[in-house]
């Protein structure tokens, strides 16, 4: 395997695995906090049991995420020395701050888990608050680093060397706000639908315990808030990309030629020079981007051939993200209408909610792929290309297979531990 392909495959596998646990680490503490808060308010034992069950899952997922995140931190230097040579001194600040947020989260997870019988109920509930806050803050700092990779700033290059570094300017690169909003909401969407799906599947299997119904209710409230918010944030991010990252936007939307009154292409298979099988809505893309059906949209023909992202993968990932997100919105709407009409949950609705977890996973992973594919062939746009940043050390392909095996073992271990938590909750 080519060394660049092997490095990309290993990094992609690591990120694809870690992002699941990172997302759960961001949003699951809020579900735990809400469940325990409902117990304090109502003294309904179902919420207490739910909080304790979710807290055990939170601890397991945090541990696995810590392992996979540590691997990623080493891979940045081992797989991409060319990138770290330029970027290490520029975007070190958000990485350092993320470390502080991570340690705060780790400390308070320990206090929370061991404080059930040692702290007063209210003090124990409040001990979860730093966990609720530190998870999203940690993700925000990491996403800031990724935003810098999209539009590098805060430095100058003189004679091939980085000079005049301004860490705060680099940390707040132009896309930072739209990216952290979209990425953070993605974590809440995924976690909410995953938790709801677990409860819905348990209900379908005949588990009518009160805390299962309570968990479904809390998770779906989060989902019903997060998914429409995410759709709005995604629209804002797409408009930003159209204005500031035209190559990425053209690949996402499969726009081959700069044109006015650009149609939107839904579905289809994007090729290097055309798209097959797409449903096109005339003028829709121009209207969505600028509010004007005759607005001009930049196409790939105005992008240098060696600066174009891989349109096949970028467009496919974008369609998968949007399609899954739309389906999730419909699921949340169906649940909300059922609650509004005060109807009992049917088996059909429970089945649909159960499908929310894989759909949310597709949306999460595909969204990240859009971000990464859309930046190619640059690892830091306009600064250094991916091919120039990769290590030339031998044996990267062997390391890729080895780390893939580690992730399989970690996933299997995590699944087994979560099953033990579920069985313990049933006894």
Taking the CA atoms of residue 411, residue 328, residue 189 and residue 65 in that order, the dihedral angle to the nearest 10 degrees is: 10
pLDDT at 427: 58
Distance of CA 35 to the CA centre of its chain: 24
pLDDT at 320: 93
CB burial of residue 332 (10 Å; 0-12, 13-18, 19+) = buried
> Distance of alpha carbon 178 from its chain centroid, rounded?
14
- Tens of pLDDT along 58-103? 888 888 888 888 888 888 888 888 888 878 778 888 888 888 888 8
90 contacts 173 by C-beta, under 8 angstroms: no
pLDDT at 344: 78
Of the candidates 72, 62, 134, the residue with the CA atom closest to the CA atom of residue 97: 134
- Residue 212 burial by Cβ neighbours in a 10 Å radius (0-12, 13-18, 19+): buried
The pLDDT of residue 401 is 85
Q: Within 13 A of 103's CA, how many CA atoms are on the CB side?
A: 5
pLDDT digits (tens, 9 = 90+) for 2-20: 778 888 888 888 888 889 8
Among candidates 149, 361, 390, 141, which has minimal Cα distance to 248? 149
Query: Cα separation of 88 and 95, whole Å?
Result: 10
Give the integer Cα–Cα distance in Å for 289 and 335.
31
Residue pair 241/174 in contact (Cβ under 8 Å)? The answer is no
**Residue spans of alpha helices (H) in 80-114:** 81-87, 92-114
- Pair of tokens at residue 281: 């809505």
Report how far residue 175's alpha carbon sits from residue 151's, in angstroms, rounded to the nearest whole number: 7
Compute CA 13 distance to the chain's CA centroid, rounded to the nearest angstrom.
Answer: 14
φ and ψ at 270, to 5 degrees?
Answer: -80, 130
Low-confidence ranges of the chain (pLDDT < 70): 1, 422-427
| The pLDDT of residue 130 | 92
Rounded Cα–Cα distance for residues 33 and 135 (Å): 13
Show the CA angle centred on residue 347, arms to residues 357 and 339, nearest 5°. 80
Domains of the chain, residue spans? 3-236+345-426
């Amino acid at each position: 395997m080519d060394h660049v392909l092997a490095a990309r495959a290993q990094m992609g596998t690591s990120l694809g695995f870690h992002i699941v646990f990172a997302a759960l680490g961001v949003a699951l503490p809020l579900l735990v906090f809400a469940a325990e808060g409902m117990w304090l308010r109502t003294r309904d034992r179902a919420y207490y049991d739910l909080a304790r069950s979710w807290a055990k899952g939170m601890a397991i997922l945090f541990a696995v995420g810590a392992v996979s995140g540590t691997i990623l931190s080493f891979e940045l230097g081992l797989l991409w020395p060319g990138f770290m040579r330029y970027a290490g001194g520029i975007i070190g600040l958000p990485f350092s701050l993320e470390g502080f947020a991570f340690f705060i989260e780790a400390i308070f997870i320990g206090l929370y888990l061991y404080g059930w019988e040692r702290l007063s109920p209210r003090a124990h509930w409040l001990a979860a608050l730093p966990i609720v806050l530190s998870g999203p803050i940690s993700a925000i700092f990491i996403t800031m680093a990724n935003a810098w990779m999209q539009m590098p700033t805060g430095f100058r290059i003189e004679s091939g060397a980085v000079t005049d570094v301004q860490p705060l300017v680099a940390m707040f690169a132009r896309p930072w706000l739209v990216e952290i909003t979209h990425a953070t909401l993605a974590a809440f969407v995924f976690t909410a639908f995953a938790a709801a799906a677990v409860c819905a599947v348990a209900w379908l299997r005949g588990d009518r315990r009160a805390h299962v119904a309570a968990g479904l209710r809390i998770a779906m409230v989060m989902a019903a808030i997060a998914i429409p918010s995410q759709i709005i944030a995604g629209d804002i991010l797409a408009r930003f990309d159209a204005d500031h990252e035209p190559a990425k936007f053209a690949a996402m939307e499969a726009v081959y030629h700069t044109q006015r009154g650009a149609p939107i292409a839904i579905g289809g298979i994007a090729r290097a020079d055309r798209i097959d099988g797409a449903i096109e809505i005339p003028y829709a893309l121009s209207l969505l981007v600028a509010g004007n059906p005759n607005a001009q949209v930049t196409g790939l023909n105005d992008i240098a051939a060696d600066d174009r992202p891989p349109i096949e993968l970028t467009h496919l990932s974008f369609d998968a993200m949007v399609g899954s997100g739309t389906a999730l919105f419909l699921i949340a709407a169906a649940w909300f209408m059922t609650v509004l009409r005060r109807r009992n949950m049917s088996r059909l609705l429970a089945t649909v909610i159960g499908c929310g977890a894989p759909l949310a996973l597709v949306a999460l992973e595909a969204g990240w792929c859009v971000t990464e594919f859309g930046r190619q062939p640059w690892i830091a746009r306009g600064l250094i290309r991916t091919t120039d940043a990769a290590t030339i050390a031998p044996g990267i392909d062997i390391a890729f297979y080895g780390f893939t095996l580690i992730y399989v073992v970690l996933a299997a271990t995590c699944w087994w531990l979560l099953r033990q938590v579920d069985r313990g909750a049933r006894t």
